[in-house]
Amino acid sequence: MPHLTTDDKVKLYYEETGTGTPVVFVHEFAGDVRSWEPQLRELGRTYRCIAYNARGYPPSDVPGEVQFYSQERARDDIRAVLDALKIDKAHVVGHSMGGWILTLLCYESPNRVRKAVNVAGGGTAIRPLQNMVEFKVPAPDQIRQHYARLAAASGGVLEVEDLAAPYIAKRDLPGHAEGFAKVMRHMTNPLTRQRYNTLRRLPFITVPTLVVWGREDPVNSLEEVGMPTANGIPGAKLIVYDNTGHSVPWEQPERFSRDVLAFLTS
């Protein structure tokens, strides 16, 4: 099982497909490497695609101390992936939490990012998300219900049981619930959301950026988060998917892969 090690000695699990110019995928708060399966398959035909599990998401390490889960460390982990794989500069695609972290990286280390794809990324809203504050580990049937919607939206590309199985298994995986809770406590802390708010950083981003949003996103709404993100980054291109919620890469996997490919090759 391939792992790489960060500067603070945390081991991150990763997968990669394809060859060529590297593309790094940063998953959402409730996701992991599997969140990017359609894109690893499709974009892997043209690019060297790399996806990793963030710290706190087994089989990556689950550090015990809460200070290991700061946004700074999450941002630095993208650089750690690049450094460990001897990559000077890569395209980076980030979804939700991953989009927030990607924005921080583009602001702080633009020299490491060729092009950025921000998919429903957080960071502009100071308020914590209520569903994160009140989060409880879902029952297996709840997990299946969630992925049934995504499987249906994929037009047969994805199967409910295939999507749900790894997350059902994670319910009993040692350390997973604790690690997930630590990430959540940090992400929902009002001081975190103020300190790492992206609004003041957006005007200084020079990395060519594609912003992708679902018009019916119930998590990071287009009006509250999507439009300020797209309007705040100089020269950013915005694509809005109708009849699509928060999980754009899964709800519209074929179209999303085409749009990302077109942007990266333009």
Confirm whether 89 is domain-assigned.
Answer: yes
Q: Please give the average per-residue pLDDT across 235-252, as a whole number.
A: 94
Confirm whether 43 is domain-assigned.
Answer: yes
- For residues 190 and 27, which has the higher predicted lDDT (pLDDT)? 27
Average predicted confidence (pLDDT) for the chain:
87
**Phi and psi, residue 167, nearest 5°:** -80, -30
Dihedral over Cα of 119, 252, 143, 54: its sign: negative
Q: Please give the average per-residue pLDDT across 161-173, as a whole number.
A: 74
Q: Would you state the pLDDT for residue 41?
A: 94
Q: Are 93 and 117 in contact (CB under 8 A)?
A: yes
- For residues 70 and 153, which has the higher predicted lDDT (pLDDT)? 70
Q: Kindly give, in sequence order, each residue whose CB lies less than 8 Å from that of residue 21, ignoring residues fewer than 6 positions away.
A: 47, 48, 90, 91, 114, 264
Q: Would you state the pLDDT for residue 51?
A: 98
Residue 129, pLDDT above cutoff 60: no
Which value, in Å, is the radius of gyration of the alpha carbons in the chain? 17
Predicted TM-score (pTM) of the model is 0.85
Q: How does pLDDT run across 39-69, given as a tens digit for each residue? A: 999 999 999 999 999 998 888 998 877 667 7
Residue 168, pLDDT above cutoff 70: yes
Confirm whether 151 is domain-assigned.
Answer: no
Segments forming the whole domain that contains residue 9: 3-134+176-265
Q: Please give the average per-residue pLDDT across 155-179, as a whole number.
A: 72
Q: Please give the average per-residue pLDDT across 174-188, as a whole number.
A: 66
Q: Which residue has the tokens 């497909």?
A: 17
Q: Structural domain tally of the chain? A: 1
Give me the sheet containing 90-95, strands edge to edge.
Answer: 3-5, 11-17, 48-52, 22-26, 90-95, 113-119, 209-214, 237-241
Termini Cα distance of the chain: 35
Q: Would you state the pLDDT for residue 154?
A: 66
Q: Would you state the pLDDT for residue 174?
A: 67
Confirm whether 168 is domain-assigned.
Answer: no
Q: Would you state the pLDDT for residue 102?
A: 97
Q: Would you state the pLDDT for residue 179?
A: 64
Q: How does pLDDT run across 219-230, given as a tens digit for each residue? A: 899 999 999 999
Confirm whether 212 is domain-assigned.
Answer: yes
Confirm whether 188 is domain-assigned.
Answer: yes
Instruction: Name residue 213's beta-bridge partners.
Output: 240
Which ranges of the chain would DSSP assign to H, the alpha helix?
Answer: 37-43, 71-84, 97-108, 130-133, 140-153, 160-170, 176-188, 190-195, 227-232, 248-251, 253-265
Of 1, 176, 63, which Cα lies nearest the Cα of 77?
63
The CATH number given to whatever domain includes residue 126 is: 3.40.50.1820
Of 37, 43, 30, which Cα lies nearest the Cα of 91?
43
